[in-house]
Structure 1
């Protein structure tokens, strides 16, 4: 089966983003904080946490809670943001995580680029100790939808053809089912709807680049896009009171390792 994502391209995008992501860091920290708030909903106390793909922003918050933290990243450059954590460089196919080593795993916006998401969830569940907690956030269907539609319409108008430029995202019921398939107990998937607001539409593209979230689809066009493509697409984004509003539909996933 042809892979949906080009992980080599993603790794390059992430490495480039790690060198200058300060402008987008507050947004990523806010999204991570929304996930970590779920820790306050349980009386369970944790000792050993895995920050899986948190770009080095989640590990310091976990350490401040008194946990021993391991940061796992595919792009080593992000680990520089988590100097106090144990560092682990993982492979996209085999995470090589120690089994039953953690009682808490946090995966903030780090699972949506995997072709084999069920397999990724199984690997993470196996890394949990019995009764360990898994928390993750993933973008869902509807995220960046105005941008997706504007790019498709502009490219078809200019060239007569279209190529995918925004990743497909799953539906909430899909990720809830995947948690159960991966063997998590008490699986829960909640929807949190966030609206990103921009004074200038070009800032949206800059933020996606700074977060390492630019196009890494295997089926993406390798041609140089027409110079008019992005200006035309951005001019068609919906504007409200002088600002471009972009939806982020966030799935908050919770599951426990069976006791």
Structure 2
């Protein structure tokens, strides 16, 4: 169901490559799912005080199933039936329950069929975020709830700066290797533009430390979160570039205990589908 639009959105990301990266990451995903788990449990906690049971819910970008587990542990009985959806079939493999391979840009659900949609760290890879949100609103029942967590502005700022500096020094210029992320101010209006009401946006800033920047790159690969820009850098990262990037990373951001920080920003948006208009 395409989002209503007069113009095709720019193609920022290669969605086919993103799916392949997720497929590749699936077998080892549990070893680097700390951000996904954090976002999933946060969403489950947000559901707890809502005085309602949701009959049918969909977890977009379900990945390793952290949200399903969070529901059991944090809010048992809050959701009667959960459908786990993911762009990657391999991410969903081997688990019980209802599962569907689905693209956030082309939701396969009937209009007005769902009570709750959650999205855990997937929307930052969509080419048309507002279009994806409009689709989510249309498949929700009136007064249905949507909660999405995605990576925002300052995410990987240290890595981004270190890569740019290394490439400028070695290659004489820097290209795009780390994907752009929306900041909180830009994200705040997305739900309203998509027709949601009673919208709320907030941010959770997370800092993770590593003993070496290359360990961060390994984690990103294991998460399936490596860059998939459609207009990506034509040259692959060389050992020389990676080594210089790591040196700059330590020089600029290293901590007294010899580690390096990696910043992540998780923006969470909450909104409700409008209630049905009363009949005249």
Distance 1:2 1:101, change over 3 A: closer
Q: Say which of 50, 61, 66 aligns to 2:70.
A: 61
Q: Say which of 12, 17, 26 aligns to 2:20.
A: 12
Aligned residues: 258
Residue deviations 1:19-57 (CA, integer Å, cap 9, x gap): 221211344212321222111232222221100012032
Pairwise CA distance, 1:76? 0.6
Q: Say which of 266, 272, 278 aligns to 1:250.
A: 266
Q: Does 1:111 align with 2:119?
A: no
Cα distance between partner residues in 2 of 1:154 and 1:195:
23
Residue deviations 1:119-177 (CA, integer Å, cap 9, x gap): 00011111211111111111111111110010011011111121111111111121111
Cα distance between partner residues in 1 of 2:235 and 2:53:
52
Match of 2:247 in 1: 235
Pairwise CA distance, 1:196? 1.3
CA contact (8 A) 1:141 1:249 kept: yes
Q: Say which of 124, 131, 134 aligns to 2:136.
A: 124
Cα distance between partner residues in 1 of 2:190 and 2:217:
30
Pair member with larger Rg: 2
Residue deviations 1:50-83 (CA, integer Å, cap 9, x gap): 0001203223433662321111111111112542
What secondary structure does 2:236 align onto? coil
CA contact (8 A) 1:99 1:127 kept: yes
CA contact (8 A) 2:212 2:246 kept: no
Which is further off, 189-198 or 108-117?
A: 189-198
Match of 1:215 in 2: 227
Distance 1:95 1:203, change over 3 A: same
Q: Does 1:137 align with 2:152?
A: no
Q: Say which of 175, 186, 198 aligns to 1:186.
A: 198
Cα distance between partner residues in 2 of 1:173 and 1:82:
37
What secondary structure does 1:141 align onto? coil
- Unaligned residue ranges in structure 1 (runs of 5+): none
What secondary structure does 2:93 align onto? helix
Runs of 4+ in 1 over 3 A off after TM superposition: 60-64
Q: Does 1:226 align with 2:233?
A: no
Match of 2:159 in 1: 147
Distance 1:164 1:235, change over 3 A: same
TM-score by length of 2: 0.87
